Structure formats: C-alpha cells, structure tokens
C-alpha cells in the first residue's frame, strides 16, 4: 500500500508522480491552516512598544480638563500614565487607555506614558507639556454693528472681502475716511476701519475697499507672582475682518524652561540676558490660512519700574516664540508710560502675531574703552643752551 493512502490519497496510476504532487499540496494546505489559526488566536507582539500620546488641549486656566489619547505602536496591553502632579493612572483595560485628567493648580506639568507588552516597555515624557495659567480670557472678534453684505453662510465665514464690510452708522463716528467704533465690546476699547473711499448711505457705511482695520483691546490685568498687578493690551492691525473667531490671552508667572532657554539663546546673539519676566500667550481659533488677515500687532506690557532704572530703557525687550513654523525672535521695546511702580512698554510683533511672549532685559551695550596713548616726551632746555 502506498504511503499516500495515509493522507487519503488514491491513484489509479501509481507509476506517475501525480499522487506525490497531490500529497505535497495537501501537506502545505494543512500547515497553512495551522499557521493561520495561530495568527488568529494568539496575540502577536512584534516588538517592544513605542510610547506616544496626544491631548485635546495643552493650556488654559484652572480647572482644566485634559483628554489624553494613546498613540503608541506595537500593541501595548498595559498603560501607566503620570500627569505631572504626583498622580498616576495605571490600566490594562484597553477601554480606559485614553484617560481624562483635571488640573486645578497653576503651573507647568510634565506628562509621562509608559506603554508595556510581553516584549518590554517604553516611555514617552513630554516636559512641561501642560500649562495651567495664572489668568486668562477668551473673547470673540465679532463687533456689534459690523456685518458683511451679503450675509455669510455661517459664523465660520473665513474672511470678509475688503469691499463687502458693512457698518451700522448709528454706532460709529466718521472722521475723513475712517469709521471709528468706540467701546464696541467688553474686549475691544475701540476699532478703526480705514477705507480708501468711504460711503455713508442710508445709515450704513461701506466703500470700494478697506485699507486697514485696527482693533484695540481693553487692558487685561493679572496678579502675577513676583510682579503683582500686570497689564497687557494689544492693537491688532488687519487687512481683513474675520467673523466667528476668538482670541485667547493667557498669563503665566513664568515661561516654560524650554522657552526660557530659547529666549536666553536668542538674547545671547545680541547681548547676554539679564532678567526674564512672565509669559503672555496669545492664541486664536482662526486657522493658519486666516493668519494673513493679521498683518502685525502692537503688544503693550508692564514691568516693574525698577527694571528701567536697573537695566535702562534701551535694554528692555519682548521675547517671542511662534510654534508653526517654529521661530524665536527678540523684539525692540519702547517706553510708553510710567506710574509710581510700573513702566509700560510696547513692541511690534510681525506676522504671524499669535505667539508666546516674555518681557525681559539684556545687558547694556558696553562703552568702548579709549585706547591709551603714550604721553609725548617733553624736553626742557637750560639757559646755557647745553645738552640735557
């Protein structure tokens, strides 16, 4: 009897190689089923996990609820989260691998995720990833009495064309080609719409084009550690007016350590950094595609009056970090006004102006030391005219 019968194979022509080929095919099929079964039934850990995560928000004021999302690769089955304030969350339940945590105390927090499987573990640490600011506010850029013709299809209309802006004459003072709105909202102290040609018809102001728009915010006061009451306000200069967006201002006692290091390095390209103050974080809900609307912004900020006396008016700077694309710059600052305890400076932030800022001071420019010159030799002769 042929061995092929052990596999249920019968052939009327055992002298041919057909039965051998069929037997081999059956063996391969059988082994394939075994491999497929092991893949479907048993978990596969290809390698040690590579830990990583994201969050739905990284900054705000207390209490701030932050939702974290695990994005680790290589199939972790255990997650250890540290939220930076001494609190840990550990789970092997895949349904709980994306925790939410509420921060209640101001400060900078580093977040750690350790991802584990049977092959090993790996951790991702994001240093000073969460910023709970000392104070903050979010306000709409919409101004009552300002609309567009025709009306936008939704409040998320990205931009208004320069020629479609419509202002209600009842809330506006006209001066030349400028339409000035005073106290248009709690967030804005005034707004100036500068037209190339202004037309006042039927109680509404429009024109063939708007040259520029200036939105001046009301002062925002925060009580910061080491600085006391601190005031910030802005003058935003736009080429177009956006609907449905917001501006958020956060004030923190100090910048993160990474921002401080970047500011120090940037200052060093000019002169050494002497002191660095609080942080101002100015952000917007507008998409990056809308940033061209904001040509530049003048940032007004207060520092202790002692800074002016200690470091000199000419050495006060506003340090700026913009994340996308990442850039660090040092902005010249000019003295605007003083009180008995504070000095207000202003600096112009170029496009894109939504960034993080910190006031500071650099070393005074050194005064060149005059090169010493040798004293001339003085010869004094005697009355007799003889040699000295």
Per-domain residue ranges of the chain: 3-41, 53-133, 136-362
Q: Which CATH number fits domain 53-133: 2.60.40.10, 3.90.550.10, 3.40.50.150, 3.40.30.10?
A: 2.60.40.10
Q: What was the pLDDT predicted at 162?
A: 46
| CA-wise closest residue to 84 among 28, 131, 122, 149 | 131
Token pair in block for residue 216: 């001046």
Q: Are 111 and 59 in contact (CB under 8 A)?
A: no
The CA-to-CA distance between both ends of the chain, in Å, stands at 140
Q: What is the DSSP string of 110-159?
A: EEEEEEEETTEEEEEEEEEEEEEESEEEEEE---TTEEESSPPSSTT---
Q: What was the pLDDT predicted at 149?
A: 56
| CA-wise closest residue to 57 among 3, 117, 136 | 136
Report d(CA 102, CA 91) in Å as an integer: 18
| CA-wise closest residue to 141 among 245, 290, 237 | 245
Q: Are 351 and 237 in contact (CB under 8 A)?
A: no
Q: Which residue matches tokens 């063939």?
A: 208
Q: What was the pLDDT predicted at 165?
A: 61
Report d(CA 53, CA 71) in Å as an integer: 5
Q: What was the pLDDT predicted at 19?
A: 45
pLDDT digit string (tens) for the chain, length 388 residues? 433 333 333 344 444 445 444 544 454 444 445 444 444 555 555 799 999 999 999 999 999 999 999 999 999 999 999 999 999 999 999 999 999 999 999 999 999 999 999 999 999 999 999 999 999 998 887 777 776 655 554 443 444 444 456 666 667 788 888 888 888 788 888 888 887 777 777 667 766 667 788 889 999 999 999 898 999 999 988 877 666 778 899 999 999 999 999 999 999 999 999 999 999 999 887 766 555 567 889 999 999 999 999 999 999 999 999 988 899 999 999 999 999 999 999 999 987 778 899 999 999 987 655 555 544 444 333 444 333 2
Residue 98 in 3-state DSSP?
Answer: coil
Q: What was the pLDDT predicted at 99?
A: 98
Report d(CA 45, CA 78) in Å as an integer: 13
Q: What was the pLDDT predicted at 369?
A: 52
Contacts 24+ apart (CB under 8 A), 164-170: 165/193, 165/206, 165/207, 165/210, 165/241, 166/204, 166/205, 166/206, 167/193, 167/204, 167/205, 167/206, 168/203, 168/204, 169/200, 169/203, 169/204, 169/205, 170/145, 170/203
* Local structure of residue 219 (DSSP, 8 states): P
CA dist list (Å): 165 to 188, 283, 348: 18, 24, 26
175 burial via Cβ count (<10 Å: 0-12, 13-18, 19+): exposed
Q: What was the pLDDT predicted at 185?
A: 80
Q: What was the pLDDT predicted at 380?
A: 38
Report d(CA 327, CA 347) in Å as an integer: 17
Q: What was the pLDDT predicted at 386?
A: 33
Q: What was the pLDDT predicted at 196?
A: 79
Length of the chain: 388
């Amino acid at each position: 009897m042929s061995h092929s019968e052990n596999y249920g194979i019968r052939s009327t022509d055992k002298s041919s190689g057909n039965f051998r080929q069929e037997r081999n095919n059956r063996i391969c099929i059988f082994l394939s089923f075994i491999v497929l079964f092991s893949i479907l039934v048993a978990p596969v850990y290809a390698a040690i996990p590579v830990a990583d995560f994201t969050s739905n928000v990284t900054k705000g004021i207390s209490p701030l609820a932050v939702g974290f999302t695990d994005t680790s690769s290589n199939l972790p089955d255990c997650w250890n989260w540290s939220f930076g304030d001494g609190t840990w969350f550990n789970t092997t339940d895949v349904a709980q691998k994306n925790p939410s945590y509420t921060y209640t105390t101001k400060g900078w927090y580093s977040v750690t995720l350790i991802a584990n499987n049977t092959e090993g573990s790996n951790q991702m640490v994001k240093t000073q990833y969460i910023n709970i600011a000392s104070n903050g506010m979010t306000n709409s850029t919409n101004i009552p009495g300002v609309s567009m013709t025709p009306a936008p299809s939704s409040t998320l209309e990205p931009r208004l064309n320069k020629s479609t802006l419509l202002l209600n004459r009842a809330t506006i003072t006209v001066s030349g080609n400028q339409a000035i709105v005073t106290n248009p909202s709690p967030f804005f102290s005034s707004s100036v719409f500068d037209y190339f040609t202004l037309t006042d018809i039927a109680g509404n102001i429009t024109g063939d084009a708007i040259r520029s728009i200036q939105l001046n915010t009301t002062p925002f006061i925060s009580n910061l550690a080491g600085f006391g009451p601190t005031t910030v306000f802005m003058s935003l200069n736009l080429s177009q007016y956006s609907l449905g967006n917001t501006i958020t201002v956060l004030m923190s006692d100090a910048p993160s350590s990474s921002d401080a290091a970047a500011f120090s390095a940037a200052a060093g390209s000019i002169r050494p950094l002497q002191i660095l103050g609080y942080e101002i974080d100015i952000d917007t809900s507008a998409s990056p595609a809308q940033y061209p609307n904001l040509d530049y912004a003048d940032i007004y900020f207060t520092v202790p009056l002692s800074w002016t006396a200690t470091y000199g008016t000419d050495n006060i700077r506003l340090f700026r970090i913009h994340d996308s694309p990442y850039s660090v710059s040092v902005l010249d600052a000019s003295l605007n006004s003083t009180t008995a305890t504070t000095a207000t400076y202003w600096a112009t932030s170029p496009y894109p102006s939504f960034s993080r800022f910190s006031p500071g001071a650099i070393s005074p420019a050194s005064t060149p030391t005059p090169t010493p010159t040798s004293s001339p030799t003085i010869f004094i002769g005697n009355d007799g005219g003889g040699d000295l």
